[in-house]
Amino acid sequence: MSVIRALLLILAAAAAACVRAVRMLRDLPRRRLLALARETLCDAPGGTGISVLYRCDEERLRLPSLLDVGYACYEVVAVLDAARCPEVFATLESHYRLFSAAVPAACDLPVGTLRGLYRSRKRCFRRLVVVDRPCDTPAADLDAAAAVASYEYLLPVPAACRLVPGAVERLVAELSLRSHCHTVLIRSVAGVPAMLLSRDAVIVAGGFARKPWRHVPHRCRATLYAPLFRPAVRVRRRGLRRGAAVVLALSVAAAACAGWWVVCAVLLAVAAAWCAALLGAAASAAEGGPAVRSRFRVKNFTVS
């Protein structure tokens, strides 16, 4: 009986992986259409604002990629411990022309100790906000960043990840298409798991430590089958994948020859799930069509 249960669970996992891959493939034409309509949806006045929440550390080279976004209502809120990383803070202050701003007297979220709040000068760089506070847990740092954020939607950056080009515009287009309903959460299941959350939902839940995405009603959720982030360091694993495929095929053949049909079924289910995952990843990587750049494209260079 236990063997049958294990077999059923494995088959269910393989079926779930296949369903996910099929949904990614079905979402591909929609992504191509949104890529063509991205300029119209993102350049409209009074657009939806997105604040990216980022825990800044010695890997400050990821900040330019986060700031290089062609959307007007957008900002990056970086949390940094200036006492722990003085050289990093000095580099950011000189390069992005940061100036000291007033720290909010009252915040809707627990922020702990804030040493200072800094903003990049207008017309020089894409908007950057730096929060100087002692190093704390990831949830506490995200709460501090969300407390000073200016826009209604928050996008936390996963650790050691970069923003995929066009990801912010893709989120804005998705929110524009769902304007008939109040969208609180958009979850991306392709590539690195990520989510876009409403700032009000985080405040009502009491911060990121309480996992506000669990309290969002299903009618206010949306699933995105397009990657938002990618690992900062890519590792090529073509040889490893080919070797694993050969070993899996030989194992299936050996199990069939020995008459171990249960083992054979398990290996086939694993192979089906793996193929579905690879197919879904390939569909997520295919952006389809030429990239459409916004008129508000602003590089991080000084404007004279």
Q: According to the model, what pLDDT value does residue 141 have?
A: 92
Residue 152: per-residue pLDDT: 92
41-45, 62-66, 150-154, 260-264, range with the lowest pLDDT:
41-45
Contacts of 128 (CB under 8 A, 6+ apart): 63, 67, 75, 76, 78, 96, 98, 119, 120
- Provide the H-helix boundaries in the chain: 2-42, 62-67, 86-95, 138-148, 167-177, 199-205, 238-258, 261-285
pLDDT in tens, 197-234: 999 999 999 999 999 999 899 889 988 877 888 887 66
Do 153 and 196 contact (CB within 8 A), yes or no? yes
The average confidence (pLDDT) of the chain is 76
Query: b or e along 130-149 (b: 16 or more beta carbons within 10 Å of the residue's beta carbon)?
Result: bbbbeebeeebbbbbbbbbb
Residue 156 pLDDT > 90, yes or no?
yes
* Closest to 48 (Cα-Cα) out of 207, 183, 156, 158: 183
Give mean pLDDT, residues 281-301.
44
Q: Under a CB-based contact definition with an 8 Å cutoff, are residues 38 and 294 in contact?
A: yes
Q: How confident is the model at residue 303 (pLDDT cuts 50, 70, 90)?
A: very low
CA 185 to chain centre: 12
With CA atoms as reference, report the closest residue to 222 among 279, 182, 282: 182
- pLDDT confidence band for 158 (50 / 70 / 90): confident
pLDDT digits (tens, 9 = 90+) for 49-108: 999 999 886 555 578 888 888 788 899 999 999 888 888 888 888 888 899 988 877 778
pLDDT at position 300: 46
Of 102, 130, 132, 133, the closest CA to residue 118 belongs to 130
Give the pLDDT confidence score for residue 75 in this predicted structure.
92
The whole-angstrom separation of Cα 41 and Cα 54 is 26
What is the secondary structure of 239-265 as a DSSP string? HHHHHHHHHHHHHHHHHHHHT-HHHHH
Highest mean pLDDT among 14-28, 31-45, 54-68, 250-264: 250-264
Would you list the DSSP string of 3-41? Answer: HHHHHHHHHHHHHHHHHHHHHHHHHHHHHHHHHHHHHHH
Query: Does the predicted TM-score (pTM) go above 0.85?
Result: no
In the chain, what percentage of residues exceed pLDDT 70? 67
In the chain, what's the furthest Cα-to-Cα distance? 76
DSSP state of 215: G
pLDDT tens for 109-125 read: 888 888 899 998 865 56
**Cα–Cα distance for residue pair 52/46, rounded to 1 Å:** 18
Class of domain 47-231: alpha beta
